[in-house]
């Protein structure tokens, strides 16, 4: 697609460029068959017969053969993202750093678009896609992204190792990178991570379509706030919070998603840099979770631990500490410069370097990079990028991700008959790149909100502000005039990357500059219904708009991707019935004074006036709660089938030693036979309105009253489409050890005995868990 500025343009840009790319693809023949093999080129007689090139041998055997042929100097140059080639072995250089957060991106040096590739499908930013609560969609997006990534690799314009997704917990509403994450809930983030990783990597045995990377491990959610930056920050985290919040998505990435890589973060955790923490890397990721892949540093973080954090006395110590802790690859030059010196000084063994390279080379071989020209997915090329079907998927993701926050009076859906002229106002009303957020690439094209609305009705456009900073109010008068002449007014406001981004945390959660004034004055001037549409990654305190009776509806679009304008217009005019749910809490501005970004504690501490974080632990006033989202129709739940009791079968040795204290504290998950503790919950969803719609069934669980009686926790969700007046039954599988457990202060996961409560909308269902050997009872 290309940007359309004329509203009467009929040929859709995606259709035009589909045929354009198809033609170029045939002309350039940019497929894997024309790419020079990374290694093991059969035309190279000197290297083609090496054992590491024999695809019939086990990968481990091939890697050991290759390692045995390398000199120490060659090895250390392979420890960095810009890995050097080894011409004598027929191996090319390789750039490990590519990004694919929500579409192939050119942020990393491993990916370039022009001239062969004019763009790639840019899906909504992750926070918006997460609000769909549709895990099938997440995997479908990953599949399209990996198709385009492979096509670009085949065309010589990208690598195969993509350092995505970002699965950090969106703990603080000011965090500039919260937009990149699936939100504040660990269960939601874990499910997103697993499904997106599966879409990226494919599901063909041990082979990889592309290699994904879950980042930034761990407890990383501060970039630059109040004089504290991520390079110097020491995150003080309790064992309890680490186990039941910060590490949950990463554990799921490795154990369930089978991700090929994990990235350690810049910050320290409890006084130790994550990239030099043997317990976090070697013992947990590779030991307990059994990562089948490599561990990479965030860029220059190995150098940072020496230069900025002064954690080590010498650069050689930093190199040795990180590799011995379990780091395999350095994003940055540091290990290539100082590793050999660390070995010569006796601080590191060459065998340690071999271990790191073994992990990276295994991934390259799983990708087929040592298979010569016999590449998997070699058929993918330019014609497979920016497909019309991919654009439609991006549009569908935006439609499903848009959240209707409020709707009252004569609000949407708007009518093309009653609202023939619409005033479109605001600094985000006609934007393009704003809609794709950060870590994006070149979009196939855009449809702005103004263009999307213009496909339905006549528009009058006024920006009202020069940009989102809205430093002056001199343009507001013209916007008021437009609202007076129109049958309805749509205000498209919010943020962009100048306000929230990497290394740019916010100082508040208010709309910038004169945006509030613009909204209030235009709403007062409008002669028809007023709809406020917000683009942002993080939450906003818009209490003033909630309380303004002249504002008929409020919509959050996040950063809705290349087709965001179409999706917004479809929701406004009822072509799409909104069904998105907030993946994070929207806090009032007053909340921020009580929670320094540097305080990593999740749980409330009333003694120190600390209110806690996220819906799980904060119980104060909110602007909008986690999971909030309205529809143009109404839904009703009923429980069709659910267990009333379930027994936790303990390992005999622990059953014999159990006592009252043990049961009161809950049974350790490690002491139970967890594999058998899966239960089904059947919920009927009825559409009691007059419009077809999609609804997310969310199941929360509360532990028994007493010491565990903290809060409710999301344990399951499923998206379902129900026609008007229809009924659909949804089955959710809940695992007792995973979903009904809690974590104690020592970081030990336990299943509390007693009466648990399941919450489905307004419904409550009791489930008793006891340490007896009984079957599930219905």
Catalytic amino acids? 298
Q: What whole-number distance in Å separates Cα of residue 353 and Cα of residue 343?
A: 9
Q: How far apart are the first and last CA of the chain?
A: 54
Pick from 267, 261, 343, 241: which is nearest to 97 by CA?
261
For residue 440, the 8-state DSSP code is: -
For residue 49, the 8-state DSSP code is: T
Please give the structure tokens belonging to residue 508.
């508040």
Q: What whole-number distance in Å separates Cα of residue 160 and Cα of residue 363?
A: 10
Burial 436-470 (b: 16+ CB within 10 A, else e): bbbbbbbbbbbbbbbbbbbbbbebbbbbbbebbbb
Please give the structure tokens belonging to residue 4.
């359309």
Q: Beta strands 261-264 and 678-687: pairing type? A: unpaired
Burial 525-563 (b: 16+ CB within 10 A, else e): bbebbbbbbbbbbbbbbbeebeebebbbbbbbbbbbbbb
Q: What whole-number distance in Å separates Cα of residue 505 and Cα of residue 490?
A: 28
Q: What angle do CA 441, 445, 450 make, to 5 degrees?
A: 120
Q: Beta strands 645-647 and 763-770: pairing type? A: parallel
Q: What whole-number distance in Å separates Cα of residue 323 and Cα of residue 577?
A: 52
Q: 510 to each of 101, 513, 524, 559, how far by Cα in Å? A: 27, 9, 20, 17
Q: 285 to each of 252, 367, 396, 424, how far by Cα in Å? A: 11, 21, 35, 50
Please give the structure tokens belonging to residue 542.
């818009």
For residue 346, the 8-state DSSP code is: T
Cα-to-chain-centroid distance, residue 652: 41
**Helix 315-325 to helix 334-344 angle, to the nearest 10 degrees?**
90
Q: What whole-number distance in Å separates Cα of residue 740 and Cα of residue 679?
A: 11
Residue 705 burial (CB < 10 Å; 0-12/13-18/19+)? Answer: exposed
Query: CB neighbours of 384 closer than 8 A, spacing ≥ 6?
Result: 147, 148, 151
218 upstream amide cis, omega within 30 of 0: yes
Q: What whole-number distance in Å separates Cα of residue 164 and Cα of residue 262?
A: 9
């Amino acid at each position: 697609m290309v940007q359309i500025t004329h509203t009467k343009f009929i040929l859709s840009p995606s259709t035009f460029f589909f045929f354009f790319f198809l033609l170029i693809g045939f002309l350039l023949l940019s497929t894997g068959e024309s790419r020079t093999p990374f290694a093991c080129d059969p035309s190279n007689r000197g290297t083609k017969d090496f054992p590491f090139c024999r695809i019939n041998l086990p990968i481990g055997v091939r890697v050991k053969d290759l390692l045995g042929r390398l000199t120490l100097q060659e090895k250390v140059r392979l420890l960095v993202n810009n890995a050097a080639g080894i011409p004598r072995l027929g191996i090319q250089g390789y750039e490990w750093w590519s990004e694919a957060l929500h579409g192939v991106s050119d942020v990393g040096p491993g990916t370039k678009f022009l001239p062969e590739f004019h763009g790639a499908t840019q899906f909504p930013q992750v926070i918006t896609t997460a609000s769909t609560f549709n895990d099938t969609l997440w995997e479908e997006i990953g599949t399209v992204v990996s198709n385009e990534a492979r096509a670009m690799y085949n065309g010589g314009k990208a690598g195969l190792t993509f350092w995505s997704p970002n699965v950090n917990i969106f703990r603080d509403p000011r965090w500039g990178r919260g937009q990149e994450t699936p939100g504040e809930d660990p269960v939601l983030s874990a499910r997103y991570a697993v499904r997106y990783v599966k879409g990226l990597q494919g599901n063909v045995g041990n082979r990889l379509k592309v290699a994904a990377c879950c980042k930034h491990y761990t407890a990383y959610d501060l970039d630059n706030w109040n004089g504290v930056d991520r390079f110097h920050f020491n995150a003080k985290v309790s064992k309890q919070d680490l186990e039941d919040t910060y590490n949950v998505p990463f554990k799921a990435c490795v154990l369930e998603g089978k991700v090929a890589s994990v990235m350690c973060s810049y910050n320290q955790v409890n006084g130790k840099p994550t990239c030099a923490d043997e317990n976090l890397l070697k013992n947990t990721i590779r030991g307990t979770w059994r990562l089948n892949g490599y561990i990479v540093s965030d860029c220059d973080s190995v150098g940072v631990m020496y230069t900025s954090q002064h954690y080590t006395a010498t650069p050689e110590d930093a190199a040795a500490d990180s590799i011995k802790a379990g780091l395999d690859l350095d994003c940055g030059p540091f290990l290539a410069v100082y590793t050999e010196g660390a070995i010569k000084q006796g601080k590191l063994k060459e065998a340690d370097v071999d271990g790191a390279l073994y992990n990276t080379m295994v991934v390259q071989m799983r990708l087929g990079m040592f298979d010569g020209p016999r590449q998997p997915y070699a058929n993918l090329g330019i014609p497979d990028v920016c497909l019309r079907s991919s654009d439609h998927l991006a549009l569908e993701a935006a439609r499903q991700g848009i959240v209707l926050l409020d709707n009252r009076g004569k609000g949407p859906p708007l009518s093309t008959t009653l609202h023939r002229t619409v005033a479109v106002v605001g600094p985000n009303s006609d934007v393009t790149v704003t809609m794709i957020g950060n870590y994006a690439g070149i979009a196939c094209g855009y449809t702005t909100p103004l263009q999307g609305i213009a496909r339905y009705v006549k528009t009058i456009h006024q920006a009202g502000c020069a940009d989102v900073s809205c430093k002056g109010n001199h343009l507001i008068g013209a916007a008021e005039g437009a609202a007076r002449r129109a049958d309805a007014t749509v205000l498209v406001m919010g943020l962009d990357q100048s306000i929230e981004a990497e290394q740019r945390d916010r100082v508040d959660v208010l709309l910038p500059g004169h945006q509030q004034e613009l909204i209030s004055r235009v709403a007062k001037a409008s002669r028809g219904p007023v709809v406020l549409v917000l683009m942002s990654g993080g939450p906003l305190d818009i209490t003033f708009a909630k309380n303004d009776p002249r504002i008929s509806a409020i919509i959050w679009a996040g950063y809705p991707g290349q087709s965001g304008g179409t999706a917004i217009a479809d929701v406004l005019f009822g072509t799409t019935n909104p069904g998105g749910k907030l993946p994070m809490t929207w806090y009032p501005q007053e909340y921020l004074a009580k929670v320094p970004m540097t305080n990593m504690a999740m749980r409330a501490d009333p003694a120190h006036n600390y209110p806690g974080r996220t819906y799980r632990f904060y119980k104060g006033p909110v602007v909008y709660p986690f999971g909030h989202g309205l529809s143009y129709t109404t839904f009703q739940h009923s429980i069709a089938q659910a267990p009333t009791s379930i027994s936790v079968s303990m390992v005999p040795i622990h059953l014999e030693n159990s006592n009252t204290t043990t049961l009161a504290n809950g049974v350790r998950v490690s002491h139970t036979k967890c594999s058998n503790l899966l239960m089904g919950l059947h919920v009927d969803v009825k559409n009691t309105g007059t419009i077809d719609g999609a609804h997310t069934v969310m199941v929360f669980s509360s532990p028994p009253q007493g010491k565990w009686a903290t809060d409710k926790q999301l344990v399951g969700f499923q998206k379902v489409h129900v026609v008007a007046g229809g009924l659909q039954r949804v089955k959710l599988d809940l695992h007792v050890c995973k979903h009904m457990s809690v974590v104690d202060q020592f970081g030990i996961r336990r299943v509390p005995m007693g009466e648990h409560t399941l919450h489905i909308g307004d419904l409550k269902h009791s489930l008793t868990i006891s340490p007896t050997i009984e079957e599930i009872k219905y």
